[in-house]
Each structure stands twice: as structure tokens, then as C-alpha cells.
A and B are shown apart, each in its own frame.
Chain A
């Protein structure tokens, strides 16, 4: 039966983006088998991505694509160019002329820029993760630089159990197919769900309140959340 083509369209554009980004770069994906499938798909092009792959042990597996950040972030300067578009600047544009301060731990300590940045992430300083030698990259704990696109490597230094679970497919949201013989899958990277400066999930209002009568709190406790 024909698959949901909306999804396939999304996958195709996702694949293109990945190809452009360079799919054969140092593998981001630690699922060895799936990583291999990813490279095969990249090498052979879009031809293998037919949805009707026969289900067998030798079936070609569709790729599992891990979303990657677009690259080095840019900051709005507040200016617009003659087309009316905002002028974006690389981090290094400003940081080339400033002196790094290893002790800075909050935006409130800064005199200018990054004001109001919500920062709640352990007892780290800015330069625990940002690279003072090249602000267009991030910095691992052993002071090696790492690209913004490879942020998962950085996070995994401290959040090992989460990375372990991620590698098993137990952490992080995904979209697509559980059966990789029928279609591919897109997985989130750390910063798709977690704000790196404040990684805990914010409070949200729940949607779709139920209207049936199952587990309604008892009348005297109606306004109270707990029933026990």
C-alpha cells in the first residue's frame, strides 16, 4: 500500500540537507549498523529510498538521521542592511576584540550583550563550553575545540547515562518509522529539546483536559490536585 507521501517528502528534504552538510563526516551516530546504513544511503543517493523494500534479513535499512544544528550560530546585531534584512554576526566578530573572563557565570555579570540570558545549568562558567580561543566553536573539557554541529559530543561528557540511553534509542524524541526496512527515521539532537543554557524542561500548561468522569478528584478536594 502506498506510504504517507508527506512524510517521504520531509525525509527527502532531510536527506538532501544531510548530504549538503556532508553525510560522511566523522560519524555522529554511534549505532554502528545504522551508521553504516546511513553512509550507504548517502553514497548510493536517493535510489535506495523506495518505501516498498521487501522485509527480509537482507533488506536495505533506511537511514536514521540525527538532526544537526545548522552550524555556527549567528547573533542579530540590531542593524538592517539595504534589503531590510537583519545583519547577523558571528560570535567571533565581537569576541575577537574582547578579553575572555573564565569566571563569568551569568549574564548579569556582563556589562553589555547577552543581557537577560536565562542561564541555569549547574555551576558551569561560560567558558566551560564556549571556546575562548575560537568563539565560533565549542570547547570540550580537555580544551579541544568541537563544532557547534557536534554539540552532542560536548553534552555527552557530563550526561553519559543520557548518551548511553540515546544510543540504545531510549532517550530523545524521534519521527518516522519503527521498521527501518520500510522507511527512515529522524532523531532529535540534545538542543532540539533542551536549551543548552537552561536544559531543564520549563513548566507548561497541559493540553486537552479530559471531560469524562474517570479519576475526578473528590468534591471537597476539587481544587486540590492530589486525591489521596
Chain B
């Protein structure tokens, strides 16, 4: 009687095909486990509420209150500091502008230091939203500047150009964000929802001013150095793995106060105010000084202006 060889093999044990399937499945499962391993580690730090939290713009006032309380509690637990986190909203009829006098800036980096302290930046990395370039006279090309100068300033053949977020009218960082975690507010400030950011760093690559910063590590700040006056979209302590940027100290400026970098400047090089108010100081700069913006040819329309005393 004729017997099908395949049928007969079935009865004898596992076929090669089945064995290969099994090995493939095991390899697949192992690869998948390895691939999601960072995720399991990451979720250890993140609570269920945080994981399901909605985008900032979709939050109801009650949602927001709950989130702010949770963030305050987390800061207390993780950093041992009592802080107040609020949500400062943009003011009607206000559009912020900044101007900086390159004739008097002496490159002391006090502005960067003030930002470092005010905005609860990571201490070990000297993080700050402001980078000061030492520039050769005769060139405005910030790509030729040196941000790592370490000798007494000002040097006679140099000028010094602090660069921070230019709060562009057409911010490329906002265009490239795949999850809309960053956007431009009505008062002109480009903000980041640190809880929505996925840390892809597209915005960092898109910014021609090198204004965005990435939190490679969980910020380290001693409890007694934490600035307790915080805001959801500005200086609350950022989680690891998210982008951040200058927000014109919105927790101060939306309350009418001047930004920390301006108050710290020992030369009075910085001028801040409401671009919609024709009597504001920043409008006086635009009206009476020779003003330029960085990389104007890109057409991003920065709201940060540089001028010289002429």
C-alpha cells in the first residue's frame, strides 16, 4: 500500500519546518522584549496618570489643577523642594519683543548664569538657554563665533553676541514637531509641553539659532537652589528626554516682570517689552536704532533684535 512520506513523517516527530518556526518565534519574542526594554525601564518613573495625560491645549482647568498639584508633589518627592507650579496665560494686547545692544555687551555671561538659576537648569551640565558667542569684529556670522572663550572680557578686537530663542514669527521648530508638543502662543512665546514631547530632537535640528536644549539626563539641582516660582510651560523641572528652550521667563513676564537675564545684565545691554505698545522701550529701539536680526535671509522673522549704539 502506498504511504505518503509526509504523513508518515508526521507521526514520527517534529518536522524541520515546525522546528524552524519555533526557533523563529523564540528569536522574534526575544528581539521584541529587547526592543521594548527601554520602555519598561522608562515607565518605572512615570505614573499612570502621567502616561494618559492629555495635550496641554486639551486640558480642562480642573485637569490642569490636578496635574499641577501632581507635579508639585513629584518635585517634593524627587527633589525635596516645596515649589508652586502655576499656569501663566498670555495677556491680551501683549506681544513680547527683546532687543540687545551689542555695543555694550561685554560677554560676561551673567545672563546665562541668571537663566541657569531662574529656570532650574541641570547643574552639572551648566545648562542655560543663552549661549554667548565671542565674535570677530567685521562679521555677524554666528557660526564663526566661539562660545567657549575663557579669558577676561571684553577683548579689544572682539564683540560678544548672546543668542537665545529668537521667538520666530515662523518657527521651524514648531513646523517639524511630529506630535505638536511645541507651539507659538498669542504673546509670541514659543513654548513646549514637556509632558507631551517625545524627545525626537527634530526641533533642535530645525532651529538655525541652536536655541533648543535636550535633557540628556534627569536634571540635578540641590533642593536649596531650586527656584520655587514655577510655571507649567516654563521653568518647572523638566523630565529626562525632553526638549526645552527659552520662554522669555514667561512665569515672570506674564506677570509684568522683566526677564531674569535682563535684570542680571551688568551693562544694561538688554531691552524687553511689549511690541504692540508704541511707547515701550523695545519699540524705542526699533524706532531709533539700527537694528538687525540673526539670519534674516531665512525669513523666520525673529522677535529678538540686535542693535549697536550709533
- Residues of A whose CB lies within 8 Å of any CB of B are 1, 3-4, 7, 55, 161, 165, 168-179, 181-183, 185, 188, 193, 201, 203-212, 214-217, 225-228
Complex-state Cα separation, A175 to B257, whole angstroms: 9
**Chain A residues whose CB sits within 8 angstroms of the CB of B132 once the complex forms:** 206
**Chain A residues whose CB sits within 8 angstroms of the CB of B210 once the complex forms:** 214-215
Q: Decide: B125 and A228 in contact? CB cutoff 8 A.
A: no
Number of interface residues of B (CB under 8 A): 62
* Closest Cβ neighbor of A217 among chain B residues: B146
**Chain B residues whose CB sits within 8 angstroms of the CB of A216 once the complex forms:** 147-148
Q: What mask results when residues 82 to 99 of chain B are scored 1 for a CB within 8 Å of chain A, else 0?
A: 000010100110100000
Complex-state Cα separation, A214 to B267, whole angstroms: 25
Main secondary structure of the interface of A (DSSP, over half): loop
Complex-state Cα separation, A1 to B265, whole angstroms: 27
* Closest Cβ neighbor of B147 among chain A residues: A215
Q: Decide: A173 and B274 in contact? CB cutoff 8 A.
A: no
Complex-state Cα separation, A203 to B107, whole angstroms: 10
Q: Decide: B257 and A170 in contact? CB cutoff 8 A.
A: no
* Closest Cβ neighbor of A55 among chain B residues: B91
Complex-state Cα separation, A183 to B254, whole angstroms: 12
CB distance from A71 to the nearest CB of B (A): 24
Interface residues of B in 134-186 (CB under 8 A from A): 134, 136, 139, 143-155, 158
Q: Decide: A215 and B145 in contact? CB cutoff 8 A.
A: yes
CB distance from B290 to the nearest CB of A (A): 13
Q: Decide: A183 and B146 in contact? CB cutoff 8 A.
A: no
Interface residues of B in 101-144 (CB under 8 A from A): 101, 104, 106-110, 112-113, 116, 125-126, 128, 131-134, 136, 139, 143-144
**Chain A residues whose CB sits within 8 angstroms of the CB of B88 once the complex forms:** 1
Known contacts: A169-B271, A178-B273, A214-B210. The answer to whether A207 contacts B113 by CB under 8 A is: yes
